[in-house]
Amino acid sequence: MSDFIIRIAGDDLLFSASHFITFEGGACEALHGHDFHVAAEAHGPLNPSQYVADFTVLRDIIKGILKELDHRVLIPQNHPRIHLKNIGNELEVAFGSRRWVLPNDDCLLLPVANTTDEMLAQYLAGRIYEALSARNISLPKGIKVEVRESGGFAAVYKLGGDE
């Protein structure tokens, strides 16, 4: 059976956020921000209505998820050496000798081990698939998400069947 691919991309599929990533050997970047650009693909056979997934539904799902990430400090919840502590309305984030204290409302804890583009792409693909599943519609065989930050650096994560 043939597969088709649809792609959702555009200047309006982005979020601005701060993050830091850690490296092998215990190094840690300074807290900094990017405009993260996102593109997504869905692939699979045509559903009974003769499309892979509704472009508008997919775009709206992506935009809703990106809105949650926009203007937030992205914090990895599953990093083995990052320690999180709520203090009133603030979140203390500690990694080795480094420590940040941030307003809770400005932070978004993500179920990832590091806030790399790769992990963000995987997170987004999972969220998109969950949102499509919740709509009780024909699901594509797979989802692919690209997260691109400044300088042309990008990561792609593919969830689901082969293309």
The parent domain of residue 142 ranges over 4-71+114-160
Q: Is residue 137 a part of any domain in this protein?
A: yes
Q: Which two tokens stand for residue 10?
A: 């555009």
* Count of domains forming the chain: 1
Q: Is residue 15 a part of any domain in this protein?
A: yes
Supply the pLDDT for residue 136: 84
If residue 123 lies in a helix (H) or strand (E), which one and from where to where? helix 117-134
* 142-157 pLDDT tens trace: 999 999 998 789 999 9
Q: Is residue 98 a part of any domain in this protein?
A: no
Q: Is residue 108 a part of any domain in this protein?
A: no
Q: Do residues 112 and 122 lie in contact, with contact meaning Cβ atoms separated by under 8 Å?
A: yes
Q: Torsion over CA of 41, 45, 49 and 53, rounded to 10 degrees?
A: -20
Q: Is residue 136 a part of any domain in this protein?
A: yes
| pTM, two decimal places | 0.94
Q: Is residue 94 a part of any domain in this protein?
A: no
- In the chain the first and final C-alpha atoms are separated, in Å, by 12
Supply the pLDDT for residue 163: 47
Q: Is residue 64 a part of any domain in this protein?
A: yes
All residue ranges of the chain with pLDDT < 70 are: 1, 162-163
Task: Identify the CATH number of the domain in which residue 139 sits.
Answer: 3.30.479.10
If residue 102 lies in a helix (H) or strand (E), which one and from where to where? strand 98-103
Q: Is residue 122 a part of any domain in this protein?
A: yes
Enumerate the β-bridge partners of residue 36: 15
